[in-house]
């Protein structure tokens, strides 16, 4: 909820606290996993953790789930100590409450196999392999199943036109398993040949930081909602301009209105976590692709499609799923992930979301325009809700345009 909507119901102290938690909530746009990790003190003793878990085991399910990470953590300790049965009991109990903890599933499966239950272990390894968005987790599950990590995209592609090709280019550190699966699905959906470039593009430094956006918004809301609270700007009344100045500005405000030291600690921790997190300018990434990958005359390559796990924006949009030029495009799956949306990991869902956007960008590279038909993959989407609602299929009109391009390219190649 927006601060503007809540402030009328809050006294000064609760509003100060809300500023802190509003900031922490925004870290969800980076990774809530990092926040959850901080909730568990690394210095807690095994005895204290055992006492805490004993209390969790007595709670109602809805209450116990809030602290389920502690249960898995104690199970990890028992597993390392070789106390398999105690570890398995805790993993089983924890997974009974949160079956989507895929690391817990993997560790439980390892113990099941070690203790003779290879059938159930294999079932769980397969589940982890099917749903993990974390590439290392999926690779580990596949290795434990007895197979080597796959990079071939799975099923055999159904390419109907070998004379047209689109090259997928990794930008930054991306999930190679997802990229391979994407390539195969794109070929099956479009009938065009796709390849994965052996060269990746380094996106460089981020172009804007989340922390600057959030600090600016906090100060703006403080001024709007509490004009008589003692919030003061610089001599011109525009507020502090530097990041350090904004941080001190908010800290002074919090202290003045009675914030608890713990609130200041959480605020400072949230700021530190956000310092290196930010977005990349999609236009700049597009320029990097254009400079690196030229299309020679008479080449079957119709375009280069960059794929990145980084968050992107441009001058007119606070965030983007993709940006296309004449022969180059960029697709970001950052905001499609479970980590960003605070949902259970689900790689098939992530693949489908990325596929929809990649089909759309591919069609733009081929000259097929945006579609106005409901459900068509070429229809505009403003967020993951609309992205999930549309299909992976082209409407009849867009299919005709793509088919015409494929047939024309074939005839040119055979001429």
Q: What is the model's pLDDT at position 297?
A: 85
Q: Could you give the C-alpha distances from 346 to 122, 178, 226, 310, 312, in angstroms and in order?
A: 19, 12, 42, 19, 22
Task: Tell me the pLDDT tens digit for each residue of 164-197.
Answer: 999 999 999 999 999 999 999 999 999 999 999 9
241's CB contacts (< 8 A; 6+ apart) are 234
Q: What is the model's pLDDT at position 135?
A: 94
Torsion of CA 153, 159, 164, 169, to 10 degrees: -10
The structure tokens listed for 127 are 């589940």
pLDDT of 38 above 50:
no
CA gap 391, 394 in Å, rounded:
8
| 196 contacts 180 by C-beta, under 8 angstroms | yes
Q: Could you give the C-alpha distances from 14 to 19, 214, 332, 391, 409, in angstroms and in order?
A: 9, 19, 37, 44, 65
Q: What is the model's pLDDT at position 12?
A: 46
CA gap 348, 320 in Å, rounded:
21
Q: What does the mean pLDDT of the chain come to? A: 84
Q: What is the model's pLDDT at position 415?
A: 53
Average pLDDT on 375-384 reads 91
pLDDT of 101 above 50:
yes
pLDDT of 78 above 70:
yes
Q: What is the model's pLDDT at position 274?
A: 78
Q: What is the model's pLDDT at position 312?
A: 96
53-89 as b/e, with b when 16 or more CB fall inside 10 Å?
beebeeeeeeebeeebbbbbbbbbebbeeeeeeebbe
Q: What is the model's pLDDT at position 31?
A: 38
Q: What is the model's pLDDT at position 41?
A: 44
Q: What is the model's pLDDT at position 219?
A: 80
Q: What is the model's pLDDT at position 152?
A: 56
Q: What is the model's pLDDT at position 303?
A: 96
Average pLDDT on 330-337 reads 97
Nearest one of 317, 327, 321 to 291, comparing CA atoms:
327
Confidence band for 43, pLDDT divided at 50, 70 and 90: low
CA gap 60, 58 in Å, rounded:
7
| 94 contacts 101 by C-beta, under 8 angstroms | yes
Torsion of CA 355, 359, 365, 371, to 10 degrees: -130
pLDDT of 235 above 70:
no
The DSSP secondary-structure symbol of 132 reads -
Q: What is the model's pLDDT at position 218?
A: 80
Q: Is the whole model's pTM more than 0.85, yes or no? A: no
CA gap 186, 193 in Å, rounded:
8
- List the helix and strand counts (H, then E) for the chain: 19, 9
CA gap 61, 98 in Å, rounded:
10
Q: What is the model's pLDDT at position 256?
A: 80
- Of 89-103, 141-155, 254-268, 347-361, minimum mean pLDDT range: 141-155
Q: What is the model's pLDDT at position 249?
A: 84
Q: What is the model's pLDDT at position 150?
A: 59
The structure tokens listed for 183 are 């390539």
């Amino acid at each position: 909820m927006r601060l503007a909507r809540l402030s009328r119901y809050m006294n000064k102290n609760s509003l100060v606290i809300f500023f802190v938690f509003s900031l922490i909530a925004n870290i969800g746009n980076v990774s809530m996993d990092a926040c959850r990790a901080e909730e568990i003190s690394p210095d807690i003793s095994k005895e204290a953790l055992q006492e805490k878990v004993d209390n969790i085991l007595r709670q109602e399910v809805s209450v116990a789930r809030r602290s389920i990470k502690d249960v898995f953590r104690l199970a990890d300790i028992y597993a390392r100590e070789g106390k398999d049965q105690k570890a398995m009991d805790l993993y089983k109990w924890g997974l009974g409450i949160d079956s989507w903890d895929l690391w817990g599933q993997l560790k439980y499966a390892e113990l099941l196999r070690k203790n003779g239950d290879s059938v159930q272990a294999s079932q769980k390894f397969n589940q982890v392999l099917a749903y993990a968005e974390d590439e290392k987790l999926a690779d580990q599950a596949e290795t434990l199943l007895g197979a080597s990590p796959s990079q071939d995209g799975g099923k055999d592609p159904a390419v109907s036109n070998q004379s047209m090709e689109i090259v997928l280019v990794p930008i930054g550190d991306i999930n190679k398993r997802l990229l391979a699966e994407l390539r195969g699905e794109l070929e099956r959906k479009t009938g065009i040949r796709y390849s994965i470039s052996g060269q990746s593009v380094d996106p460089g430094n981020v172009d804007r930081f989340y922390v600057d956006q959030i600090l600016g918004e906090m100060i703006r809301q403080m001024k709007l909602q509490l004009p008589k609270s003692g919030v003061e700007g610089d001599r011109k009344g525009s507020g502090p301009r530097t990041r350090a100045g904004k941080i001190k500005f908010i800290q002074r405000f919090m202290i003045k209105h009675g914030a608890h030291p713990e609130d200041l600690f959480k605020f400072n921790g949230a700021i530190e976590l956000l310092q290196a997190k930010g977005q990349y300018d999609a236009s700049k990434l597009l320029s990097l692709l254009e400079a690196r990958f030229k299309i020679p005359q008479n080449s079957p390559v119709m375009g280069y499609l960059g794929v990145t796990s980084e968050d992107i924006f441009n001058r007119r949009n606070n965030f983007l799923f993709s940006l296309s030029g004449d022969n180059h495009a960029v697709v970001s799956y950052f905001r499609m992930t479970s980590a960003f949306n605070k949902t259970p990991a689900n790689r098939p869902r992530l693949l489908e979301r990325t596929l929809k956007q990649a089909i759309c960008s591919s069609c733009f590279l081929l000259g097929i325009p945006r579609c106005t038909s409901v459900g068509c993959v070429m229809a505009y989407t403003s967020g993951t809700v609309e992205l999930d609602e549309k299909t992976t299929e082209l409407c009849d009109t867009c299919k005709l345009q793509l088919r015409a391009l494929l047939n024309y390219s074939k005839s040119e190649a055979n001429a």
